[in-house]
């Protein structure tokens, strides 16, 4: 739990204890203390009952106690879920989704409880909604679709927090999955928040290892067999020097193509998707150093000028 949230928790917990014990408040008269005690007993002691009436100090204090109580319970539940899921990506994703659900339920429950305290009959209101409920239902159709899609994303394990996914042309790491939205962040720190129902044809690049490739050109005059021997003999050393990024020993794949001015050979290595670009740069560097140390020329375009 963050320090700011912990401080809020302690302050609100102390305030809740103070409210639930009106006898500790020297500013209240004896009559008000008795009324507050009766209201608190009715709502916190029995969680039901009580009497209905207009706004009174007792009811207002009780509503404040309800708000604090619901917030504390919601905070504790979310904190426990986050702690239990700290070491697993899928568990973190489920916890993020459940945190959204808990907050929604807590808000609805707290609001219903507060309305019940001041005497508003929710059952009668819901029964009299009629056509209004139908209109609202059409309005929240997209919201329901987002929530249902989010649940299926979690249940089917389409992606988890920390996975690298591609949506259309945006490539980013999943930062958060809530009941309605998914938050992605790319390598430049740009955030993309997309409704779950709008997620189509997603590519989960973290489901399997990715292949970082280095295609490098060699001269047509060079002996390709000697070049291949040099590359193959250095692959194990490349892996030992780059275990922080490479997941296995690099592989020499052979001659990729015969280009106009060079013979292109390919080397690849399995890496985690989150390390893809860093590993590719590292592989390019290793090949360049290897060729320099062994006198292997990498051809480049040159302009030849003839004097007429």
User: How big, in percent rounded to 5, are the helix, strand and coil portions of the chain?
Assistant: 55, 15, 30
Q: Which fold has domain 146-204?
A: SH3 type barrels. (2.30.30)
Cα(20)–Cα(131) distance, integer angstroms:
41
Rg (CA), the chain: 32
Where are the domains positioned within the chain?
3-128, 146-204, 210-293
pLDDT digits (tens, 9 = 90+) for 242-272: 999 999 999 999 999 998 889 999 999 999 8
Fold of 210-293: Alpha-Beta Plaits (3.30.70)
Which residues in the chain show pLDDT less than 50? 46-54
Which residues touch 287 (CB under 8 Å, ≥6 apart)? 214, 216, 231, 267
The confidence score (pLDDT) of residue 217 equals 92
Report the pLDDT value the prediction gives residue 151, as an integer from 0 to 100.
78
Contact 122/115 with Cβ under 8 angstroms?
A: yes
State if pTM tops 0.75: no
DSSP string, 63-106: HHHHHHHHHHHHHHHHHHHHHHTTT-HHHHHHHHHHHHHHHHHH
3-state SS, one letter per residue, for the chain? CCHHHHHHHHHHHHHHHHHHCHHHCCCCCHHHHHHHHHHHHHHHHCCCCCCCCCCCHHHHHHHHHHHHHHHHHHHHHHHHHHHHCCCCHHHHHHHHHHHHHHHHHHHHHHHHHHHHHCCCCHHHHHHCCCHHHHHHHHHCHHHHHHHHHHHHHHHHCCCCCCCEEEECCEEEEEEEECCCEEEEECCCCCEEEEEHHHCCCCEECCCCCEEEEEEEEECCCCCHHHHHHHHHHHHHHHHHHCCCCECCCCEEEEEEEECCCCEEEEEEEEECHHHHHHHHHHHHHHHHHHHHHCCCCCCCCCCCCCCC
Task: Give CA–CA dist 34/96, Å, rounded.
Answer: 43
């Amino acid at each position: 739990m963050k320090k700011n949230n912990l401080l809020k928790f302690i302050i609100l917990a102390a305030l809740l204890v103070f409210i639930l014990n009106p006898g500790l408040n020297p500013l209240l008269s004896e009559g008000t203390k008795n009324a507050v005690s009766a209201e608190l007993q009715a709502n916190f002691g029995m969680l039901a009952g009580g009497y209905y009436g207009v706004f009174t100090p007792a009811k207002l204090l009780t509503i404040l106690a309800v708000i604090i109580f619901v917030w504390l319970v919601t905070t504790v539940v979310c904190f426990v879920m986050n702690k239990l899921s700290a070491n697993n990506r899928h568990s973190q994703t489920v916890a993020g989704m459940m945190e959204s659900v808990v907050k929604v339920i807590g808000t609805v429950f707290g609001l219903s409880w507060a309305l019940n305290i001041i005497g508003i009959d929710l059952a009668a209101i819901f029964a009299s909604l009629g056509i209004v409920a139908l209109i609202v239902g059409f309005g929240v159709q997209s919201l329901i679709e987002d929530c249902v899609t989010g649940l299926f994303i979690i249940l089917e394990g389409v992606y988890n927090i920390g996975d690298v996914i591609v949506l259309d042309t945006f490539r980013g790491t999943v930062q958060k999955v809530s009941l309605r939205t998914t938050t992605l962040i790319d390598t430049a720190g740009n955030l993309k928040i997309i409704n779950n129902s709008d997620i189509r044809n997603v590519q989960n690049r973290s489901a399997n290892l990715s292949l970082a490739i280095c295609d490098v050109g060699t001269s047509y005059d060079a002996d390709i067999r000697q070049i291949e021997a040099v590359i193959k003999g250095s692959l194990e050393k490349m892996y030992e020097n780059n275990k922080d990024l490479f997941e296995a020993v690099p592989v020499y794949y052979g001659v990729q193509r015969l280009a106009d001015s060079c013979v292109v050979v390919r080397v690849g290595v399995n890496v985690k998707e989150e390390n893809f670009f860093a590993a590719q740069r590292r592989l390019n560097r290793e090949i360049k150093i290897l060729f320099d140390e062994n006198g292997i020329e990498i051809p480049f375009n040159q302009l030849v000028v003839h004097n007429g």
